Every structure is written in C-alpha cells, then in structure tokens.
Amino acid sequence: MRRMEETREWYVVYSRPRWEKKIAETLAEQGVAHYCPLNKVEKQWSDRRKTVLEPLFKGYVFVQLEEKLKWEIRKVDGVLNFVHWLGKPAKVPQEEIDTIRKFLQEFDNVTVTQSGISEQDTVVVKQGIMMDYHGLVLEVYGNKAKVHIRSMGVELSAVFDRNNLEKV
C-alpha cells in the first residue's frame, strides 16, 4: 500500500510584540519553513536617517507545516497561538504568500491597512444580543468599532469586535 505524502500548509501564528524576527530566526535554526515579510522603512532620528527592515504584519509570522506537526510550533519561544478562522487554525493559500513576496520585491515603505469598516459606515451586528441591529460607526480602533444604535426611542453607543459587524 502506498503511503500518501502529507502536504505542507501555510498557517499564521501570533507572536509576542516585536518578536517576529526572533521567531523567524529560531524557525530557520530548526529548519522550519517560514515567512516573516519585512518592509524597508526609512527612519529619521535626530542625528541620522536610516533604512531599516520591519515586519510588514506586526505580531504575525507565516509558517509552513504538515498538519500533524502544527502543534509543535507553539513550543517556539515567542509564539503565542495560531490565528484561527471558524474555530480552526487559519490556512493561507500559497498564492497569497507569493503575492506578498512579489509586492515587497517591487515596493518599499509599504503600509498595511484593514479594509472594510470605517467611520460613518452603516453596519449591522451579525451575532450576539444586538444581532440584526443597524447602526452608524462612530470610531474605529484596532479590531474594535464604536457603533451608534437607535432603538426603542433611545440612542446607544457600544463597542463591537469589527468581525461582528457587516457593512450595509
């Protein structure tokens, strides 16, 4: 009987703050396929100007592993956990990794912004006690958004996880 070769998938792990490069170095020493996209950024100090390499995605490192070995990666110093999607460690298609690599080869000083919800957007809450309520986004900060909701003759402002909001 022929043994099927296990395929290696790309996953994303959360890192401790400012540990992305250290994790990448440790993974390289262990022979683990990884990718920590680095962005060339011009920094200005009071006495000099210098180009430095900073992680493009702060707090994240991509790792390529076989399914059966993925939990071993959490033992690496600085790795906090996997990024999850629908309750499972999120897999990243090879094409997206290739796209990031090509983009960084072509451009310097790249900025990463989250698309989707911004101030003054009308949104609907997707789940929870306020499910199906509509509101106006007042403020967006990180993964949270402050939403103004009118209901039953009163006005409420609440902070929601951005993943729990959908643009209308």
Higher pLDDT: 137 or 111? It is 137
What pLDDT, in 10s, does the model give residues 23-34?
A: 999 999 999 999
- Using a cut of 0.85, tell me whether the model's pTM lies above it: no
Task: Sort 121 into a burial class: Cβ within 10 Å, 0-12 / 13-18 / 19+.
Answer: middle
Q: What is the pLDDT of residue 2?
A: 45
Domain 8-106 sits in CATH at 3.30.70.940
Q: Among residues of the chain, what percentage have pLDDT more than 90?
A: 33
Q: What is the largest CA-CA distance in the chain?
A: 70
Q: Return the CATH fold of 122-167.
A: SH3 type barrels. (2.30.30)
pLDDT tens digits along 3-58: 455 689 999 999 999 999 999 999 999 999 999 999 888 888 889 999 888 998 88
Contact 160, 129 (CB under 8 A): no
Q: Which residues, 6+ apart, have CB-to-CB distance to 84 below 8 Å? A: 90
Pairing type for strands 8-15 and 91-92 reads antiparallel
Domain residues of the chain, as ranges? Answer: 8-106, 122-167
pLDDT at 88: 86
**Distance from CA of residue 83 to its chain's centroid?**
7
